[in-house]
Every structure is written in C-alpha cells, then in structure tokens.
Amino acid sequence: MNGFARQVIHTANAPKAIGPYSQAIRAGAMIYTAGQLGLNPATGELVSGIAEQTRQALQNLAQVLEAAGSGLEHVVKTTVFMQDLGEFAVMNSVYAEFFPQEPPARSTVQVAALPRGGQVEIECIALAPGDPARP
C-alpha cells in the first residue's frame, strides 16, 4: 500500500450505478461523485420535468455525500450537464434552493444526450470532513 486512502462509496438511498462505475470515491479529504440523474431511487425511473429532475438529482447527490460522511454544505465544485440550456433558468432556480448561501463553483454545459433520456445530470467534488481512513 502506498499510503493513499481510496474508498468506494455506495448507498441504497440513491440510484445504483447504471454502468461500471461507483456512486462516489472518497480519496483522502475529497469526495468525487459520479453524475446523478433525476432518478427516483425507489423505482429507478426518471421523475418528470426539468425542475423535478434537478431536485431529485441534488437529493441523490446529498444521499451519496451523506454515505461518504459529508454533505452538500461541503461541496466545492459542481458540474451540471443539461440537454437544453434553454431550461437553465428553471434548473438554476431549483439549484439555488440547495445552495442558498456561499454556493460552490459550478460549470454548466449542454450535451447532446444524457442516459435514460434525462434532462439534467449533476456531479460534484466535496470535502470529506473527519478521518479519511474511516470505514
């Protein structure tokens, strides 16, 4: 072992990975999440509309971060992938509900398509408070 701590993060409270990737990786004092779609974790189905998909994606991210011992308040950077930037104002309004004070840095890009026909996908990088070697 080279002294670097790398921990796979998984929670049943967020949609399971739909490919060969982890929901998140905790590496030392940082957490790197996979993108989260607006999938209902109980049903595996997309919720309807850009506002609800944004809200669900952020709730899913919150659950993944919680499983890693962190939370949305520790997010330092997000990347938002949108199928249509014409929906930016709607997405941005919901996003602001989750980061009302001192929001993280963010990039937003339009993409040709998202998995499962999603309208928005959000990933983040967050701080991992506490002991990075914690199980």
Q: Domain with 97 in it: what CATH number? A: 3.30.1330.40
Count structural domains, the chain: 1
Q: Which domain range does residue 84 map to?
A: 6-127
Summarize the confidence of residues 49-69 as an average pLDDT: 98
pLDDT, tens digit, 9 for 90 and up, residues 83-92: 999 999 999 9
- Give the whole-angstrom CA distance, residue 130 versus residue 135: 11
Residue 61 lies in a domain: yes
CA gap 34, 23 in Å, rounded? 5
Residue 74 has pLDDT above 50, yes or no: yes
Note whether residue 134 is domain-resident. no
**Confidence (pLDDT) at 21:** 96
Whether 103 is covered by a domain: the verdict is yes
Q: Does the residue 132 lie in any domain?
A: no
- pLDDT higher for 131 or 12? 12
| 133 located within any domain | no
Residue 129 pLDDT: 85
Distance (Å, whole) CA 73 – CA 62: 9
How confident is the model over 77-134, as pLDDT tens digits? 999 999 999 999 999 999 999 999 999 999 999 999 999 999 999 999 999 987 554 4
pLDDT at 2 over 80: no
Q: How far is CA 56 from CA 2, 45, 78, 115, 118, in A?
A: 38, 11, 15, 15, 11
